[in-house]
Amino acid sequence: MLVERIETALNAQIKIEAESSQFYLAMASWAESEGMNGTAKFLYLHSDEEREHMLKLVKFVNERGGQAIIPALSQPTSNFDSLNQVFEKLLSHEEFVTQSINELVHICFEEKDYTTQNFMQWYVSEQIEEEALARTILDKLNMIGNDKGGLYLFDRDLEMFVPHEGDEG
């Protein structure tokens, strides 16, 4: 059984994960329209992963006797100036997600809901990976700058990217 405060917090997190998925989908579509197919593939995959994160929460809430609410989503930004801007936005969004997950874990402690707290540990670890990955990508982009050859190789590298094991949701 979920106490109302936890159920509300989990439903808020469901919305955040769903919006993350939409946000990265918009980025993927932008990258594809700009001919950066490797980056687009990476971002489409990332969007799918966020949807998995959402679904995992939906199922958890319902299994524990609550009701997962599927939220309306706001229109994500669809125009970006550069790849740097895309990944800067991605990183700051992931930092926001991490903060939200940490707050949720904190609420679990306050409510002594150790089952949900334990379930949320997967998300805590996932965020470490996702933030680290976004930072690595940004470092690479900063090194490349405006070098066209470098950007071509960057895009090709992302095409080969294989998500780590925890990424399949």
| Binding residues vs ligand OFO (CB under 6 A) | 17, 20, 50, 53, 94, 97, 123, 126, 130
Q: Which is nearer to ligand OFO, 86 or 97 (CB)?
A: 97
Closest CB 88 distance from ligand OFO, rounded Å: 15
Closest CB 103 distance from ligand OFO, rounded Å: 13
Q: Which is nearer to ligand OFO, 135 or 156 (CB)?
A: 135
* Residue at shortest CB range from ligand OFO: 53
Closest CB 100 distance from ligand OFO, rounded Å: 9
Q: Which is nearer to ligand OFO, 97 or 141 (CB)?
A: 97
Q: Which is nearer to ligand OFO, 50 or 113 (CB)?
A: 50
Biggest CA-to-CA distance, the chain: 56
Closest CB 97 distance from ligand OFO, rounded Å: 4
Q: Are 64 and 115 in contact (CB under 8 A)?
A: yes
